[in-house]
Amino acid sequence: MFEVVPLAAFKDNYVRTLRKSRPAVIVDAGDDTVALPELGASFSVLEIPGHTRAHAPIMAQGLRSVAMRCSRAAPASSAIRTRDTIANAQRAVARRWIWSACALVSACASQPPTPAPPTEPVAAASPVFEEPRQRVVLAPSAPDRVRSAPLDATRLAEFDGERQVVHEPLRGVATIDLTAPPDDLWQRIRNGFAMPNLDSPLVEEKVAWYAARPDYLKRMFERSRRYLHHIVEEIERRGMPTELALLPMVESSFNPLAYSRAHASGLWQFIPGTGKRYELTQNWWFDARRDIVASTAAALDYLRDVYEMQGDWHLALASYNWGENAVARAIEKNRAAGQATDYASLGMPAETRHYVPKLQALKNIITNPQPFGVELDPIPNQPYFTTITKTRDIDVRLAARLAEMPVEEFVALNPGFNRPFVPVTVNSRLVLPADRVETFRANLLKHAEKSLVSWQAYQPTRNETLASVAKKFGITVAQLKEVNGIAPRARATPALLVVPRNGAADLGRLPIMYAPPLPVARPRTVTHTVKRGETLSSIAARYRVSMEDLRRWNPIGRLAAGQKLTIRNPAATGKARQAPKPKARRTSK
């Protein structure tokens, strides 16, 4: 058997181990040919000039016959260095390259060799010598055999050093359990960020604006502590990105009593029309647009709907602010002009143009507040409040007292109530801090036989004024106006008032808990001059009234040009029929 080995290994090991057991060894000399004469003293060595170790295994197939002849004929101290022999060997390699490659693959795929490796006779004779040749299976080197052999632990020596049992993690090695929810709600929000980032000069401008107002951010973050956990829970339940939990910061600064000039109200700033579309009750007693639970569910449902419509979160946010129909028209306009239809490419009002950059700026600050000099106090990742179902009417101040909490805190969690007491028929749900529920129930049992309300609804007669009603029920006009959300300078008497019951109402000052009253169409009269070609039907459609109303308000016989018609409380004037300029929050939400 012949074996190709590196020269260094041949010098150090094989001189001692192969002297008596092998007829010849082919050495890959590489660059180290100095030792060949020394090796020739004990072995028949064939030098392969100009070939590296990578070539040696293949050269071995063509040279083994030469090595065999050398081992038989040459004296032990001779070395073969003839170029003719090398040339003949190289020609043999060229004719047998396929056979050599197969042998090499076989050797690489074989297991560690047994003491007697199998041989296979080859029919083709060597072009140099006539003796039949044998295919040599090259065994892996010693390091390869060590790596491929599995470690037998039973043969290892026993450990005789000091034994220690480690009960705690190693010092300085941090471990993270990715399955455990974070303790800080801010981190939970960061983990759920999934919207594509918006990078623009406008975003940088908004980041600088917020960073320059740390007191404003601190107040807003403090207000958000009551509501964020519930909002994040609802967002994750719907599989939506947690950037949406920051949207009330843009909409209302997390003020549940916020009210805009467009009559948008609550944390999520619903206008009356969109609130009704999403079943948010709005009446004299209760405005669900300000209710934390109801408005959050409606806002997320609305955002989900516009996202499914637009297929892009930036366009969905623009739809939430501007109106989905307005965004759809802007997209169609760009598409018809062959322009891009993404958020940055659409024409839109300034408020909507700044809307998404504000949200992105807040996201950037919350992601890494330290570079902006912002202190973000941790928020416990646990419910702040819970809801209970009540079965009786109850005063707002009494409910706060039973829960042993400030009335301001109670109103912040129940901002949908418009009056100082809550009829169960209007809304049967109360929102209380999670740690105050048992206290509330225990104190409520003590009032089981007592009345929980000290107010009642009252309908003034036609001739009654606010002053006369106040005198009748033993309170001042200012108290009557305050408890009913009437402006200090108003003189008109509403059709429905809240007044003390039996003169025993709790007249303690309530926090500002009433949003401005819902917009009510006041009686208004418009005179219309009939023009040539107009009909009763076209006039009714123009003012959005019925033809029956027109006949009731006017003695109409035959309609003629120049005739004057009186129209009461019209919903729209002739100018209102013209296409208005797009304004944010006017068309939706």
pLDDT at 56: 44
Q: Output the six-digit token pair for 305.
A: 């709907």
437, two tokens: 């529920």
Active-site residue, from 243, 251, 324, 482: 251
Q: Which helix (H) or strand (E) holds 564?
A: strand 564-568
Q: What angle do CA 111, 116, 119 make, to 5 degrees?
A: 85
Task: Provide the pLDDT for residue 327.
Answer: 96
Provide the pLDDT for residue 150. Answer: 59
> What is the CB neighbour count within 10 angstroms for residue 103?
20
pLDDT tens digits in sequence order for the chain, 589 residues long: 445 555 555 555 544 444 444 444 555 555 444 445 555 554 444 444 444 444 444 444 444 444 444 344 444 433 334 444 444 545 554 454 444 544 444 444 444 544 444 444 444 443 433 444 444 444 444 444 444 555 666 666 666 677 666 555 555 555 656 567 899 999 999 999 999 999 999 999 999 999 999 999 999 999 999 999 999 999 999 999 999 999 999 999 999 999 988 889 999 999 999 999 999 999 888 999 999 999 999 999 999 999 999 999 999 999 999 999 999 999 999 999 999 999 999 999 999 999 999 999 999 999 999 999 999 999 999 999 999 998 888 999 999 999 999 999 999 999 999 888 888 888 889 999 999 999 999 999 888 667 788 888 899 998 899 999 999 998 889 888 888 888 888 888 888 898 998 766 666 665 554 544 444 444 567 888 988 888 888 888 888 788 878 888 888 878 888 888 888 765 433 333 333 343 444 444 5
Cα–Cα distance, 327 to 338 (Å, whole number):
17
What element of type H or E holds 458? strand 455-458
Residue 1's alpha-carbon distances to 50, 55, 90, 128, 191, in angstroms, are 25, 19, 20, 19, 65
| pTM score, whole prediction | 0.60
182, two tokens: 């974070």
Written as six digits, the tokens of 220 are 């807003």
The neighbour count for residue 256, using CB atoms within 10 Å, is 26
Is 130 catalytic? The answer is no
What span, in angstroms and rounded, lies between the C-alpha atoms of 75 and 70? 8
Q: Residue 349's pLDDT is what?
A: 94
Provide the pLDDT for residue 506.
Answer: 66
- E strand residue ranges, 214-347: none
Burial (CB count <10 Å: 0-12, 13-18, 19+), residue 62: buried
Domains and CATH numbers, the chain: 4-145 (no CATH), 185-372 (1.10.530.10), 385-500 (3.10.350.10), 525-570 (3.10.350.10)
Nearest to 210 by CA among 375, 358, 379: 358
